[in-house]
């Protein structure tokens, strides 16, 4: 029995450090070199992103343990931190790709040196099996791939061992980026199929516990509810070998504890910390805080047009003028993020998204609009919030309540438990005034509008319908950004959203992480999960 294999691997000097760690004579930054310790506040519930019920923190397994056909590039942000680069698609398992002669397919050439962890070569058959699996198992993976017009198994064709073809349902700018999100990961199909059963042809039970990929890290240990231990795949071929041999991800539910751990140097990274801790930790010695604005995401007030008073655009505009934006931003977001109010003009100057809406706190204007509306005497309604996000939703709702009271709208705050929130707000769409947080993985304004402004779509919790928006979304969703008329159509779309305000944006939130100054290689991703592939500990 090798109880201490972990330390042995890291060298003899570590034995002393570990016994000292009991006495805490040394901070645990004296942990074995080449090992990084990360604290996350949520729990990982599966090692397979395709499984139904897999939660968001588990997506990091798909990121760190698997490769895809293509990947997003990396860019350096103004503050020196790393971020994925939406505008750049780089090779991952595919060395090259391009449209077929007739333009109706995409052809991918796989690298011939790519190997799974067990040494088996990565072949087109593995790619097909993996994509088939993602669209067949249903649930979130299928929905995400559908966004890139990847819907049916017939679309995925093996030409030879290293050549793979995707037949397109339509030409869309979303197809290639959608192949770089975590979902279409490439699985070792030969290994997985050994564990498939007639009841479970896609080996969901096996892959749930045993990842079978070609990625930068393997899983050395998974203690559900406690920790994941990543171990570097020294034979990784899809990128520069990570600087750390092992990454220990510990699940520490209490944010206060997380904060103490990173301040004391016992963990190198506290991932995804609240705005409050981020603003207070900044400037502490030895700690670096990185706050990255979350792309294509806004925290909004949703106004449900199924409710009579909110049907009137004047009422909605009045509400947009009665929001105490600056106070909310200060109290609920600790001034972290980008303000989404006080835009300069009712017509957008560019197609940047999200961008500030042309509303500001102005009670006189709000009262004027109310007086001119169908509800001059005001009305009563509810503001619904999600209890599991009460850290920012509760102060926001209370300040909003105060603001609305000034223009004659009486509200009660309705707190909904986390498990019911999705059903009430997104599925049944039955909440009059509520808070909403949608963020699109694919970074285009039309993609956001597709989910949040089109009638019947999941994140359109306002039941908003506008015929022109529906047409504009149809015309732009798959079109290339440099195609004729694209920019004008997006501007028009934003202009309608400005005017109709079924959603009143408050701010664009940030993803905050606090880390030791010794840790390098922290990277922001649209999926907001941990990527350890570029980590290095000095």
Residues forming the site for another protein (CB under 8 A)? 1, 3-7, 14, 17-19, 21-22, 24, 28, 31-32, 37, 39, 43, 45-46, 51-56, 138-140, 142-144, 147, 208, 223-227, 229, 248, 250-254, 256-257, 260-261, 263-264, 266-267, 388, 417-420, 422-423, 427, 451, 458
474-484 exposure pattern, b = at least 16 Cβ within 10 A, e = fewer: eebbbbeeeee
Taking the least distance from each CB to another protein, the nearer of 412 and 427 is 427
Taking the least distance from each CB to another protein, the nearer of 225 and 344 is 225
Taking the least distance from each CB to another protein, the nearer of 46 and 384 is 46
Residue 432 CB, shortest distance to another protein, in Å, is 18
Q: Is 521 left (phi over 0), alpha (psi -120 to 50) or beta?
A: left
Q: 92 vs 86, 245, 447, 461, CA distance in Å?
A: 15, 21, 24, 37
Residue 3 CB, shortest distance to another protein, in Å, is 5
The answer, yes or no, to whether the previous bond of 354 is cis (omega within 30 of 0) is yes
Taking the least distance from each CB to another protein, the nearer of 173 and 246 is 246
Taking the least distance from each CB to another protein, the nearer of 328 and 445 is 445
Element at 74 (helix H, strand E): strand 70-76
Determine the 3-state secondary structure of 58 from DSSP. helix
Residue 347 CB neighbours (<10 A): 13
Nearest to 178, CA basis, from 201, 155, 212, 160: 155
Determine the 3-state secondary structure of 378 from DSSP. coil
Taking the least distance from each CB to another protein, the nearer of 220 and 371 is 220
Q: 20 vs 7, 13, 93, 194, 280, CA distance in Å?
A: 14, 12, 44, 45, 30
Q: For residue 435, which phi and psi values (nearest 5 degrees)?
A: -105, 145
Taking the least distance from each CB to another protein, the nearer of 52 and 87 is 52
Q: Is 80 left (phi over 0), alpha (psi -120 to 50) or beta?
A: left
Residue 191 CB, shortest distance to another protein, in Å, is 20
Taking the least distance from each CB to another protein, the nearer of 23 and 101 is 23
Q: What is the largest CA-CA distance in the chain?
A: 79
Taking the least distance from each CB to another protein, the nearer of 134 and 351 is 134
Residue 281 CB, shortest distance to another protein, in Å, is 13
* Cβ within 8 Å of residue 252, ≥6 positions away: 39, 40, 41, 258, 261
Residue 362 CB, shortest distance to another protein, in Å, is 35
Q: For residue 332, which phi and psi values (nearest 5 degrees)?
A: -90, -25
Cα separation of 441 and 261, whole Å?
A: 31
Q: Is 399 exposed, middle or buried (0-12, 13-18, 19+ CB in 10 A)?
A: buried
Nearest to 490, CA basis, from 446, 453, 528: 446
CB 123 within 8 A of CB 162: yes
Complete DSSP assignment for 340-375: ----S-SS-SS--SS---S----HHHHHHHHHHSS-
Cα separation of 501 and 323, whole Å?
A: 13
Taking the least distance from each CB to another protein, the nearer of 297 and 369 is 297
What is the 8-class DSSP label of residue 187?
A: P
Residue 4 CB, shortest distance to another protein, in Å, is 7
Residue 519 CB, shortest distance to another protein, in Å, is 15
CB 397 within 8 A of CB 385: yes
Residue 97 CB, shortest distance to another protein, in Å, is 25
Residue 129 CB, shortest distance to another protein, in Å, is 20
Taking the least distance from each CB to another protein, the nearer of 201 and 253 is 253
Residue 22 CB, shortest distance to another protein, in Å, is 6
Taking the least distance from each CB to another protein, the nearer of 334 and 438 is 438
Cα separation of 89 and 72, whole Å?
A: 5
Residue 527 CB, shortest distance to another protein, in Å, is 11
Residue 528 CB, shortest distance to another protein, in Å, is 11
Rounded to 5 degrees, what angle do the CA atoms 158, 155, 444 make? 120
Residue 58 CB, shortest distance to another protein, in Å, is 8
Determine the 3-state secondary structure of 504 from DSSP. strand
Taking the least distance from each CB to another protein, the nearer of 56 and 115 is 56
């Amino acid at each position: 029995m090798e109880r201490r294999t972990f330390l042995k691997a890291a060298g003899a000097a570590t034995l002393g450090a570990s016994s000292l760690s009991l006495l805490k004579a040394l901070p645990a930054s004296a942990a074995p070199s080449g090992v990084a310790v990360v604290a996350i506040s949520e729990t990982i519930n599966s090692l397979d992103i395709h499984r139904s019920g897999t939660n968001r923190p588990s997506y990091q397994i798909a990121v760190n343990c698997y490769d895809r056909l293509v990947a997003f590039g990396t860019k350096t942000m103004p503050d020196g931190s790393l971020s994925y680069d939406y505008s750049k698609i780089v090779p991952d398992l595919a060395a090259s790709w391009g449209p077929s002669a007739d333009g109706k397919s995409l052809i991918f050439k796989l690298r011939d040196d790519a190997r799974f962890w067990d040494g088996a070569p990565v072949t087109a058959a593995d790619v097909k099996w993996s994509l088939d699996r993602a669209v067949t198992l249903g649930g979130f993976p299928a929905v995400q791939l559908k966004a890139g017009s990847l819907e049916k198994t017939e679309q995925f064709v093996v030409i030879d061992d290293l050549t793979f073809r995707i037949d397109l349902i339509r030409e869309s700018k979303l197809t290639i980026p959608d192949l770089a999100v975590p979902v279409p990961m490439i699985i070792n199909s030969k290994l997985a199929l050994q564990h498939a059963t007639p009841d479970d042809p896609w080996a969901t039970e096996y892959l749930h516990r045993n990842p079978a990929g070609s990625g930068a890290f393997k899983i050395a240990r998974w203690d559900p509810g406690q920790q994941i231990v990543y171990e570097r795949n020294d034979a990784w071929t899809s990128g520069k070998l990570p600087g750390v041999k092992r990454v220990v991800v510990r699940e520490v539910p209490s944010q206060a504890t997380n904060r103490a751990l990173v301040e004391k140097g016992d963990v190198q990274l506290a991932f995804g910390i609240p705005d409050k801790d981020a603003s207070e930790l900044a400037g502490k010695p030895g700690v670096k805080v990185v706050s990255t604005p979350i792309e294509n995401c806004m925290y909004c007030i949703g106004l449900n047009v199924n409710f009579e008073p909110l049907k009137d655009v004047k009422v909605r505009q009045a509400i947009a003028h009665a929001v105490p934006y600056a106070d909310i931003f200060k109290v609920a977001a600790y001034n972290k993020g980008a303000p989404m109010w006080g835009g300069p003009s009712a017509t957008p100057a560019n197609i940047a998204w999200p961008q500030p809406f042309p509303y500001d706190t102005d009670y006189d204007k709000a009262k004027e609009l109310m007086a001119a509306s169908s509800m001059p005497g005001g009305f009563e309604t509810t503001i619904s919030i999600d209890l599991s996000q009460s850290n920012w939703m509760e102060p926001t709702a209370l300040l909003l309540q105060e603001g609305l009271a000034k223009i004659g709208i009486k509200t009660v705050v309705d707190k909904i438990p986390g498990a019911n929130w999705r059903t009430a707000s997104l599925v049944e769409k039955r909440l009059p005034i509520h808070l909403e947080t949608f963020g699109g993985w694919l970074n285009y304004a039309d993609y956001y509008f597709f989910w949040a402004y089109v009638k019947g779509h999941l994140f359109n919790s306002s039941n908003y319908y506008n015929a022109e928006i529906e047409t504009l979304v149809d015309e732009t969703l798959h079109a290339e950004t440099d195609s004729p008329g694209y920019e004008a159509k997006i501007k028009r779309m934003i202009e309608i959203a400005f005017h109709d305000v079924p959603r009143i944006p408050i701010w664009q939130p940030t993803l905050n992480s606090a880390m030791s100054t010794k840790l390098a290689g922290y990277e922001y991703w649209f999926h907001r999960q941990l990527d350890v592939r570029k980590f290095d500990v000095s």
